[in-house]
Structure 1
Amino acid sequence: MSSVIVIIVNILLAVVLAVGLTPLWVWWERRIAGFIQDRSGPNRCNIGFIRLGGLVQAVADMLKLIFKEDFTPSHVKHKFFFTVAPVIVFLCSFLTFAVIPYADVLTIDGKAHTMQAVPTELGILWFLAFAGLSVYGIILGGYASSNKYGLLGSIRASAQVISYEAAMGLSLISIIISYGTIHLTDMVNAQAGTYLGVIPMWGIFIQPIAAIIFIVCSFAETNRAPFDLAEGESEIVAGYHTEYSAMKFGLFQVGEYAAMSASSALIVTLFFGGYQIPWMDTQTIQSNINYVILAIIILLPIKIFIFTRWMKKNNKAVGKDTSREKETKVLTIIFWSLCIGIMALLISFLVTGLGTNGVNIATAVIQVGTFMVKFFMMAFVYMWVRWTVLRFRYDQLQMLGWKVLIPLALLNIVVTAIIVVIGN
């Protein structure tokens, strides 16, 4: 029974983090763009007095795409390819998330459970396989559109993939040499120690050059600015999805955000310790679980207090419109109710004890929470860069990939191999 529950939890986490967060990403990106450009962003769409800081706007946009007419232009010759292209992009982007570990191996009643949606030994190779396949959907979509702008977008996508994919694969070779495994859970566990008792043994400190190369290539992988050449609206209208509308267009957009989620999760897993808390490995958390729970009980109301104060400060009444203040009061009550409920549950754990299974499950929950904090921070970096850095020219990306990233990745492999052989 425990195996079935763990499998369901892993699949639900993958679905929610890869696809279910799309409305949140759209809202978050608009708010970040508004902040960077010194404007409000979405804050008008509402259900009654509920605005959720503009999140209702993202939900409305999603419903619009669902119920909008699914139109296929008459000049499209290959309608099957035209229809299946966004599905390929969506599925490949979603499946790349399936091997991301959210926590260390969970042991219940003596049985070990891998905290991955697809517990495969392929590890990083699974990610590379499906991440590389997603570009076929983009190429197919532009070609099947029978549109010159769509075809140009497809050509750009194919040129882009050969510019960054080689550098990305070479940067991962250095990581594999350093960790001695392709299994992502083993890679995360290898980052649990410290240098000199202070610096975490994260991949960003072990392989800083590989981290930079991989992160740059990941931006190109997701087709987001500054590498959104395949859909450069200032040059080729919308590129490969110019002729798409309704949910076909929606699948392309969801696929883009799913790719961003998968890339963010993999960057966290490889270079920022994954689910590991700095200076605390799995055994340390388990042996000090009461202190960890006590720290959460202390920190949680402080964070809720700061967040509710921020909401109150930024949602004051505008003239006679008091809807924002009403919403703030309702949300404040909801957040404090959840906070009190969670604190009561945690206190009951401290009083009654957890037992062996309880300690293992609590450790897994804490590690999942740690992973999600890092995951959201990396997703923020994606959005921050998109609204800060200008788009690269078509030739600049190719020069960056072939003349800078690939030679640098090859040099890094040689240096890493020499250090590993000398250090045995």
Structure 2
Amino acid sequence: MSGVDILMVVLRLAFAILVPLTFIVIFVWMERRGASYIQDRSGPNRANVGGFTLGGLVQPVADAVKLIFKEDLTPGHIRNKFYFMLAPAIVFAAALLTFAVVPFADDITIGDKTYMMQGIPMDVGILWFLGIAGFAVYGIILAGWSSHNKFAMLGGLRATAQVISYEIPLALAVIALLGVYGSVHLNDMVRYQGELLWGFVPAWGIVVQPIGFLLFMITAVAEANRTPFDIAEGESEIVAGYFTEYSSMKFALFFMGEYVAMFVSSAIIVTLYFGGYHIPWLNTETLRENATTVAQTLLVLVPLFFAMFILWMRKNSRCHYDRPNDPRVREANVLTVVFIGLAAAIELVLLLALSMGLGEMGAQILTMIIQIIVFILKTFLVGFLYVWIRWTLPRFRYDTLQLLGWKILLPIALVNIIVTAVVVLSLQ
């Protein structure tokens, strides 16, 4: 392997591992901020380092420190300690591995080699997601069985029945989508969505498969065990379900696995239905051909964005009552300097790139950076939809959940496949 090959492998793996782990912190923060906003109450505004709360981002760090140093208890009645410890690792690993084939930018060509911008460069695409995502339920089953606890066992059984019920309509929604895209490769699907329908409408999956999107969104929430589908851990009925007996870092792995699964589901939804890393009306070829114009536009937009963000931050970073030496104001002053410095650094890089000439390689790198930012932003917004659903809808009863999966979603998914097949064949 050449040096470039090694560098690309390291960069892709680093992105595929570090970004989902980083989003655990971001989604935990968004969960709490979203809950406080929807329920009109205070959010994470107490945990701080030297008086800096960073808008609540210190709270997930405090949670991590607490769980790391919390006493790890293993009850004496555990049926099998090996499987008891293996279960959370399976849940977390399955969620993390699912992201390995999600493209976060279009392919890059260096010399005579083309590199796929995904963690593991495989062509199996969506089949990898369908195959690996279902493995998480094995960890849940092992957790329920090995805990030797009736509440944990009930949680494991509920999770098993739920996965069976919702994997079928999820797979059928994907089958209908494959009929439109004609490929299982996720990057081919994203490229298809970079085109235009009738010359002006982006060919996003949500446009060509609106019913499929609703099916996939509902089943993805159920697969991630998120409210209103969290009957496997319903605290009002079975204490905490399959992780009732878990504490410390073993509990943290279940906790982290849920948010990694939430991130991966959001990334898959973005890839299948919201154009992936594409900007509407600006596909990869358009960005690369107009790289200089794009860089000049960014020179204007970057300072405007940071100026608006700083003004918003300074307006909201203060107490609602008169408070001498308000620590939030002091924090906003420091962060203002940091963001101004960041904006200046980005402007300097853009000016240097324009003065030296972007060239073909520079155009590819600029396009890749823009597409990664767009992909992450879209994933963040879909993740907020998960939070919105959780703090808006109540938990389903077990029988209602099964009725929804088998008697409503499954027939709709079958009809959607038939209608899609008829339309695709008639247009050929």
In 1: Cα distance, 2:381 partner to 2:30 partner: 12
AA aligned to 2:180 is: S
Contact kept, 8 Å, 1:164 with 1:217, in 2: the verdict is: yes
1:321 Cα offset (Å): 4.5
Per-residue CA deviations over 1:30-62 (Å, capped at 9, x if unaligned) read 011001111121101111121111111110110
The 5-angstrom pairing of residues 184-333 of structure 1 reads 184-317=186-319, 319-333=323-337
Question: Is the deviation greater in 88-97 or in 196-205?
Answer: 196-205
User: Which SS does the other structure have where 1:224 is aligned?
Assistant: coil
Match of 2:123 in 1: 121
In 1: Cα distance, 2:22 partner to 2:98 partner: 15
Out of 395, 398, 401, which is 2:399 matched to?
395
User: Which SS does the other structure have where 1:151 is aligned?
Assistant: helix
In 2: Cα distance, 1:378 partner to 1:7 partner: 28
In 2: Cα distance, 1:139 partner to 1:77 partner: 13
User: Which SS does the other structure have where 1:107 is aligned?
Assistant: strand
Match of 1:40 in 2: 42
Contact kept, 8 Å, 1:99 with 1:126, in 2: the verdict is: yes
AA aligned to 2:416 is: N
In 1: Cα distance, 2:381 partner to 2:300 partner: 22
Out of 340, 346, 354, which is 2:344 matched to?
340
The 5-angstrom pairing of residues 50-69 of structure 1 reads 50-69=52-71
Match of 2:172 in 1: 170
In 2: Cα distance, 1:35 partner to 1:20 partner: 23
Contact kept, 8 Å, 2:277 with 2:374, in 1: the verdict is: yes
Name stretches of at least 5 consecutive residues in structure 1 with no aligned partner.
none
Q: CA RMSD in A?
A: 1.1
In 2: Cα distance, 1:152 partner to 1:415 partner: 39
Question: Is the deviation greater in 248-257 or in 137-146?
Answer: 137-146
In 2: Cα distance, 1:292 partner to 1:354 partner: 11
In 2: Cα distance, 1:181 partner to 1:173 partner: 10
| TM-score (norm: length of structure 2) | 0.97
Contact kept, 8 Å, 2:263 with 2:383, in 1: the verdict is: yes
1:418 equivalent to 2:411? Answer: no
Contact kept, 8 Å, 1:171 with 1:213, in 2: the verdict is: yes
Per-residue CA deviations over 1:353-375 (Å, capped at 9, x if unaligned) read 11221111111111111111111
In 2: Cα distance, 1:82 partner to 1:395 partner: 29
Contact kept, 8 Å, 2:291 with 2:358, in 1: the verdict is: no
Per-residue CA deviations over 1:186-243 (Å, capped at 9, x if unaligned) read 0100111112222100000011111110010000010011111100111111100111
Q: What is the aligned length?
A: 424
Match of 2:14 in 1: 12
| TM-score (norm: length of structure 1) | 0.98
1:106 equivalent to 2:104? Answer: no
User: Which SS does the other structure have where 2:388 is aligned?
Assistant: helix
Out of 346, 368, 371, which is 1:367 matched to?
371
1:320 Cα offset (Å): 2.9
Contact kept, 8 Å, 1:108 with 1:360, in 2: the verdict is: no
Percent sequence identity is 50
Per-residue CA deviations over 1:110-162 (Å, capped at 9, x if unaligned) read 31000010111111010011111101111110111111110110111011011
The 5-angstrom pairing of residues 115-154 of structure 1 reads 115-154=117-156
